[in-house]
C-alpha cells in the first residue's frame, strides 16, 4: 500500500510491525489513547466496560489480519468515508494496519499485478482472511458484462474470493441491500452480496456511506473474540443498528412536543425543531449516526439541519421522496388504494345487503308483542 | 316463525322443542331471536365491530362502579346480542359456525342469565355511551336488546305488570281519571283557580305521571299557579293524562307505540300546538325522541319538558319571582333530560331565579351520575338491592358538596333520592324545581 489519500496525514505508514499493538505504538498512539478506543468499542458493542482491557490486549496481540477489499458497482463513497477522517484516528490506523492486501482504489499495483496480489493473499491466508465488499453486483441472471474487473465478472470474482474467507463484510448499502444500482428500474440486474453468498457469514454494514466506526468495530470484535457480532434481521450488527435514529435523536423532544420545522427556512428550522414533516426517515432508520456522529464526532445530517434519508435501510432510494413526510405513503399508491377501496366497498356493500335482507326478513316475520300476551305470563 | 333456518339455536334442538321449553305464553327463544334480527341495524353492526374491549364503559357505569362486579360492565350486558351478530352477521362468525368451530349458542338459559344484567343493572342512563372512545351507543343497544328479551319471555315481572296496566288501564300504576279528578278538586280548592280540562286549541296539553299524581300532587298545583301567573293557555285531556311509557322501559316498541299513540290522539283531538311532558325523565324521551319512530310518523305538535317551557317563560319575562331560598341547594340532573336530551342550562337559569345559595354537584349536566332507578329499574322489585347499590354513587356526589336540600325534575329520580337518602340516614329533603318556582311567584296585585 503506497497510496494514502489522506489530506491530513503527512506520511505514509510503512510498517514492519507484526502485531497491531506494536504498529500503533510505532505510529505514536499512546497507550491511553488506545485504551480509550477500546473502551468506546466495548460500549458500542454493548459489552461491559470491564472487557475493555481484554479488547486492548487482544488487539495488541492480534496478528495483522489479511483483508481483501472488493469494489463492484459502487461510487467509492464508502472507501472515502472510511479513509477520510480529518486527522489520523485510532480507527483509521487500525484500518491501515490491517493487511489490506487488495483494494483497487488504494493499491498501487494495477492490472495483472493487482490480481496476482489478490490471489496470493487468498492462498497465504486461506480460511482466515476477511472479504470486504463495497458495491452491488450484477446478479446470476443479469448480463455479467455490466461490471467486470480484469475481464472477470463481479459474481465470479466474489465466488472465487469468498471460497477461503472466514467471513464477508458487505460495506455500504449497495453491497448490503443493492442500494442505488438496484433502485428501479435496476438496469444491471444488481443484487446484494447476501443475495448470492449463502455459505459464508455475511455482515451487512449498511449506510450510504456507513459510519467508519462501525466497520472498525466489527473488525475489532473479529480480532478480539474471533467471532462475529450479533446481527439483526437485516444481517447488521445489532450493537450499531439496534436503535432508530429517531429514538436517539437530540431533536426528539421537539417531536414529542409537536414542534416541527415546516420549511427549511422557517422559524422552526432556525430553532432546530424536529424535521419529521420535512421528510425525516429517522423513525424507520436504524443506525448509530445520532450517537456517534460523523467526521470525528463533529456533526451529522440532522444536526446540520437536513432530515435523515434512512440510507441504512433496504430500498431507501425507492421509498418515496426524500422530503415527503413518513406518514405519506412511499411511492405511487393511488392504483393500489383505489383497487383496495373498490374491493372493500363491493364486499362491504354485499355484506350490508345480506344483513339488511336478514333484518328485513325478520321484520316481515316478527309477531308484534301485545299486552294480552304479556298478561298471560304473569 | 319456525320456517327460518336458525343457526343460533342449541345443537340438535328443533325450534319446536325450544317452544316447549320456553316460558309460558306465546313467547319463545325463536321469537326473541327474530326480534333481535329486526333490531340488527347498521349502527349495531358498526358498534359491535368497532368495540376495542377497553372497558372504559365499566368505569362510567354506577352499577359496576358501586359493586365492582365485572359482569356489570355495560358492553358485557350485550353479550347475547353480540353473539348473534357475530354468528349471523359476520363472515368469520358464519364460517366458524358452519365449520363447527364455534359451539356457543344463544339459548334460553343464556337469556335467563342475562335478564338481570339487561334490566336490573341498567337504568339506560347512557353514561357508557358518552365515554366510549369509539363512540358506541351502548344504551341504544340495551334498548334494542330488550326487544328480544320481551319477545322471548325474559322480561322482569314488575315491568310486564306495569306494561299490562299501562295498556289496559291507561296508567302503569293502574290509576284512573277519577283519582286525578279528586286531585284536581284539591288543587282548585287550594288555589282558587280552575284547572282547564279538554280545552280545544289550547297552546299546551299538559301530561302527568301516575307517580306525581299519587306521590307529588304539589306538581299539578304548581303548574296551575305558574300558568295562571304567566297567562298560558293550557289544558288536561280526559282522553289521555299519562305521559310515562312502560313500553320504552320494558323494551317493546309495540307496547310503546300504543302508549305514544294515545298521547298523539289526545293532542290531535284537542288540536293543541304543544305537549308538555311532566317532571319525568323517560316520559320526555319516550314522547320527544322515540315517539315519532315507534308510531312511524311526525307529530303535528311540539313536545317540551316542563323545565324547557318554564325557561322559555322566564326568557319572555312572563315569570316574575320574588325572594330566594337561602339554604344550600344542589341539583340532580335526570339522565333522560340532561345527558340524553341536552336540557342542562335551562334548569340552572331557573335555579338562578330562586336559589340564593346554589352549588352544582361536581359531575353534572351531561356527565352527571344516574340516581340508579331509571330505565325500569324502579318498577322491578328484584332489582331493589342493585338500585340501592347504584345510588351510592349519587350519595357520594351529594356528600362532596353537602347541600341542605336537593332539587330535581323527575319523579322517579326524586323518589329514588328520597328513599336512598333516608336509607343512609341523610337528612336532605328533595324538592321538584317546578314547585320551587311556584313558591316564589309574585302575587298578582
Least Cα separation, residue B285 to chain A (angstroms): 21
Q: Read off the pLDDT of residues B199-225 as tens digits, 9 standing for 90 and up.
A: 999 999 999 999 889 889 999 999 999
Q: Beta strand pairing status for A167-171 and A190-191?
A: unpaired
Please answer yes or no on whether B26 and A373 come within 8 Å at the CB atom: yes
Phi, psi of A99 (to 5 degrees): -85, 85
| DSSP type of residue A86 | S
Q: How far is CA B271 from CA A17, B200, B263, in A?
A: 114, 6, 12
User: Which residues on B lie below 8 Å from A377 (Cβ)?
Assistant: 23-25, 27, 153, 160
The answer to whether the CB atoms of B34 and A377 lie below 8 A apart is no
The verdict on a CB contact (< 8 Å) between B42 and A352 is yes
Residues B117-147 have pLDDT tens digits of 999 999 999 999 999 999 999 999 999 999 9
In the structure grid, which three cell numbers stand for residue B94, read together?
Answer: 358464519
From first to last of its 378 residues, what are the pLDDT tens digits of chain A?
333 333 333 333 344 556 777 777 776 777 777 777 777 777 766 677 777 777 777 777 766 678 888 999 999 888 888 776 544 455 565 666 567 777 777 777 778 888 888 888 888 888 888 899 999 999 999 999 999 988 899 999 999 999 889 889 999 999 999 999 999 999 999 999 999 998 889 999 999 999 887 877 777 777 777 778 889 999 999 888 999 999 999 999 999 999 999 999 999 999 999 999 999 999 999 999 998 888 878 899 999 999 999 999 999 998 888 898 887 665 677 888 999 999 999 998 988 888 889 889 999 999 899 999 999 888
> A222-249 as b/e, with b when 16 or more CB fall inside 10 Å?
bbbeeebbebeeebbbebbbeebbbeeb
Three-state DSSP state, B264? helix
Angstrom distance (rounded) from CA A83 to CA A28: 19
Residue A18 pLDDT: 61
Does A364 contact B at CB distance below 8 Å? no
Q: Is A359 on the interface with B (CB under 8 A)?
A: yes
What's the CATH code, domain A65-240?
3.40.50.700
Q: Tell which residue, B158, B167, B164, has the closest CA to residue B257.
A: B167
| Residues in chain A closer than 8 A to B7 (CB atoms) | none
What fold characterizes domain A245-318? Cytochrome-c3 Hydrogenase; Chain A, domain 2 (4.10.480)
Q: Distance, in angstroms, between A373 CA and closest chain B CA? A: 6
Fold of B170-313: Glutathione S-transferase Yfyf (Class Pi); Chain A, domain 2 (1.20.1050)
What's the pLDDT score for residue B22? 44
Instruction: Give the range among B6-15, B186-195, B279-288, B402-411 with minimum mean pLDDT.
Output: B6-15
Mutant choice from B37, B90, B257, B262 vs A, greatest count of A C-beta within 10 A:
B37
| Higher-confidence position of A60 and B435 | B435
Domain boundaries of chain B, sorted by first residue = 15-155, 170-313, 317-439
Q: Where in chain A is the domain with CATH 4.10.480.10?
A: 245-318
Output the pTM of the full model: 0.62
pLDDT computed for residue A211 by the predictor: 87
Q: Could you tell me if the ipTM is greater than 0.85?
A: no
Residue of B nearest to A349 (CA): B42
All three cell numbers of A141: 441472471
Q: Return the pLDDT at A1.
A: 36
Which residue on chain B is closest to A352 by alpha carbon? B42
Return the CATH architecture of domain B15-155.
Orthogonal Bundle (1.10)
Between strands A148-149 and A152-153, the pairing is antiparallel
With 0-12 / 13-18 / 19 or more C-beta atoms within 10 angstroms meaning exposed / middle / buried, residue B180 is: buried
Q: Which residue intervals of chain A bear CATH 3.40.50.700?
A: 65-240
Note whether B24 contacts A373, CB cutoff 8 Å: no
Please say if the pLDDT value at position B315 is more than 50.
yes
Domain B317-439 has CATH 3.40.50: yes
Per CB-CB distance under 8 Å, the chain B contacts of A362 are 4, 34-38, 40
Of the pLDDT bands very low, low, confident and very high (cuts 50, 70, 90), residue B340 is: very high
Nearest CA in chain A to B34: A362
Shortest distance, CA B238 to any CA of chain A (angstroms): 22
Ramachandran quadrant class, B28 (left: phi over 0; alpha: psi -120 to 50; beta: rest): beta
Cα–Cα distance measured from residue A249 to residue A368, given in angstroms and rounded to the nearest whole number: 67
With CA atoms as reference, the chain A residue closest to B155 would be A374
Written in H, E and C, the secondary structure of A36-69 is HHHHHHHHHCCCCHHHHHHHHHHHHHCECCEEEE
The Cα B292–Cα B406 span in angstroms is 34
The pLDDT tens digits of the residues spanning B351-361 come to 999 999 999 99
pLDDT in tens, B396-426: 999 999 999 999 999 999 999 999 999 999 9
**Contact residues, chain B to chain A, C-beta under 8 Å:** 1, 3-4, 23-27, 31, 34-42, 45, 88-89, 91, 150-151, 153, 155, 157, 160-161, 163-164, 166-168, 252, 254-255, 258
The count of CB pairs under 8 A between chains A and B is 76
CA dihedral A225, A227, A229, A231 (to 10 degrees): -160
Amino acid at each position: 500500500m503506497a497510496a494514502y489519500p489522506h489530506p491530513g496525514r503527512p506520511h505514509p505508514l510503512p510498517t514492519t510491525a507484526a502485531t497491531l499493538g506494536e504498529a500503533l505504538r510505532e505510529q505514536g498512539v499512546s497507550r491511553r489513547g488506545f485504551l480509550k478506543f477500546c473502551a468506546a468499542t466495548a460500549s458500542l458493542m454493548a459489552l461491559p466496560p470491564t472487557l475493555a482491557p481484554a479488547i486492548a490486549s487482544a488487539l495488541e496481540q492480534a496478528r495483522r489480519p489479511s483483508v481483501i477489499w472488493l469494489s463492484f458497482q459502487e461510487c467509492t463513497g464508502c472507501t472515502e468515508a472510511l479513509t477520510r477522517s480529518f486527522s489520523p484516528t485510532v480507527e483509521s490506523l487500525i484500518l491501515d494496519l490491517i493487511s489490506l492486501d487488495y483494494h483497487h482504489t488504494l493499491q498501487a499495483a494495477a492490472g495483472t499485478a493487482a490480481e496476482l496480489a489478490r490471489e496470493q493473499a487468498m492462498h497465504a491466508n486461506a480460511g482466515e482472511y476477511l472479504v470486504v465488499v463495497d458495491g452491488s453486483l450484477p446478479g446470476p441472471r443479469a448480463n455479467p458484462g455490466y461490471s467486470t474487473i480484469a475481464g472477470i465478472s463481479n459474481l465470479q470474482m466474489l465466488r472465487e474470493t469468498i471460497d477461503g474467507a472466514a467471513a464477508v463484510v458487505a460495506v455500504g448499502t449497495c453491497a448490503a441491500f443493492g442500494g442505488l444500482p438496484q433502485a428501479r428500474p435496476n438496469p444491471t440486474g444488481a443484487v446484494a452480496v447476501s443475495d448470492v453468498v449463502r455459505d459464508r457469514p455475511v455482515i451487512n454494514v449498511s449506510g450510504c456511506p456507513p459510519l467508519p466506526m462501525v466497520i472498525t468495530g466489527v473488525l475489532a470484535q473479529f480480532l478480539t473474540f474471533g467471532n462475529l457480532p450479533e446481527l439483526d434481521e437485516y444481517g447488521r450488527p445489532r450493537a450499531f443498528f439496534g436503535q432508530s435514529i429517531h429514538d436517539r435523536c437530540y431533536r426528539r423532544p421537539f417531536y414529542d412536543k409537536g414542534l416541527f420545522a415546516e420549511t427549511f427556512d422557517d422559524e422552526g428550522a432556525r430553532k432546530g425543531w424536529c424535521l419529521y414533516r420535512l421528510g425525516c426517515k429517522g423513525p424507520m432508520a436504524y443506525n448509530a449516526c445520532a450517537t456517534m456522529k460523523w467526521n470525528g464526532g463533529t456533526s451529522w445530517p440532522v444536526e446540520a439541519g437536513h432530515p435523515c434519508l434512512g440510507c441504512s435501510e433496504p430500498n431507501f432510494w425507492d421509498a418515496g421522496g426524500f422530503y415527503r413526510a413518513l406518514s405519506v405513503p412511499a411511492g405511487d399508491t393511488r392504483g393500489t388504494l383505489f383497487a383496495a377501496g373498490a374491493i372493500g366497498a363491493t364486499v362491504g356493500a354485499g355484506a350490508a345487503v345480506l344483513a339488511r335482507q336478514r333484518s328485513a326478513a325478520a321484520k316481515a316475520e316478527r309477531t308484534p308483542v301485545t299486552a294480552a300476551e304479556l298478561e298471560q305470563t304473569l | 316463525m319456525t320456517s327460518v333456518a336458525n343457526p343460533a339455536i342449541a345443537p340438535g334442538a328443533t325450534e319446536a322443542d325450544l317452544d316447549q321449553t320456553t316460558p309460558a305464553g306465546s313467547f319463545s327463544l325463536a321469537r326473541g331471536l327474530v326480534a333481535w334480527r329486526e333490531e340488527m341495524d347498521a349502527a349495531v353492526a358498526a358498534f359491535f365491530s368497532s368495540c376495542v374491549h377497553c372497558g372504559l364503559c365499566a368505569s362510567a357505569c354506577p352499577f359496576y362502579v358501586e359493586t365492582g362486579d365485572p359482569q356489570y360492565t355495560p358492553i358485557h350486558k350485550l353479550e347475547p346480542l353480540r353473539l348473534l351478530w357475530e354468528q349471523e352477521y359476520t363472515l368469520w362468525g358464519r364460517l366458524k359456525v358452519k365449520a363447527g368451530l364455534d359451539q356457543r349458542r344463544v339459548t334460553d338459559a343464556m337469556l335467563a342469565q342475562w335478564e338481570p344484567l339487561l334490566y336490573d343493572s341498567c337504568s339506560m342512563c347512557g353514561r357508557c355511551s358518552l365515554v366510549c372512545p369509539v363512540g358506541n351507543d351502548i344504551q341504544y343497544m340495551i334498548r334494542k336488546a330488550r326487544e328480544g328479551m320481551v319477545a322471548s319471555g325474559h322480561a322482569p315481572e314488575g315491568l310486564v305488570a306495569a306494561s299490562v296496566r299501562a295498556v289496559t288501564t291507561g296508567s302503569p300504576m293502574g290509576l284512573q281519571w277519577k283519582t286525578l279528578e279528586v286531585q284536581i278538586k284539591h288543587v282548585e280548592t287550594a288555589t282558587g283557580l280552575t284547572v282547564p280540562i279538554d280545552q280545544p286549541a289550547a297552546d299546551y296539553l299538559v301530561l302527568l305521571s301516575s307517580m306525581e299524581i299519587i306521590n307529588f300532587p304539589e306538581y299539578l298545583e304548581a303548574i296551575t299557579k305558574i300558568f295562571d301567573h304567566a297567562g298560558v293557555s293550557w289544558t288536561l285531556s280526559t282522553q289521555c293524562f299519562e305521559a310515562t311509557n312502560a313500553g320504552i322501559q320494558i323494551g317493546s316498541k309495540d307496547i310503546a307505540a300504543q302508549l305514544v299513540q294515545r298521547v298523539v290522539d289526545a293532542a290531535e283531538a284537542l288540536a293543541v300546538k304543544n305537549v308538555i311532558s311532566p317532571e319525568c325523565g323517560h316520559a320526555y324521551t319516550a314522547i320527544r325522541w322515540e315517539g315519532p319512530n315507534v308510531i312511524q310518523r311526525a307529530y303535528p305538535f311540539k313536545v317540551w319538558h316542563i323545565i324547557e317551557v318554564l325557561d322559555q317563560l322566564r326568557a319572555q319575562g312572563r315569570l316574575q319571582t320574588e325572594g330566594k331560598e337561602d339554604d344550600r341547594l344542589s341539583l340532580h340532573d335526570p339522565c333522560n333530560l340532561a345527558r340524553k336530551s341536552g336540557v342542562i342550562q335551562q334548569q340552572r337559569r331557573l335555579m338562578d331565579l330562586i336559589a340564593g345559595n346554589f352549588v352544582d354537584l361536581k359531575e353534572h349536566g351531561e356527565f352527571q351520575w344516574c340516581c340508579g332507578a331509571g330505565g325500569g329499574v324502579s318498577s322491578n322489585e328484584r332489582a331493589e338491592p342493585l338500585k340501592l347499590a347504584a345510588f351510592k354513587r349519587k350519595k357520594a356526589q351529594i356528600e362532596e358538596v353537602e347541600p341542605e336540600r336537593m332539587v330535581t325534575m323527575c319523579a322517579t329520580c326524586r323518589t329514588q333520592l328520597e328513599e336512598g337518602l333516608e336509607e343512609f340516614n341523610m337528612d336532605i329533603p328533595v324538592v321538584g324545581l317546578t314547585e320551587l318556582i311556584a313558591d316564589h311567584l309574585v302575587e298578582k296585585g
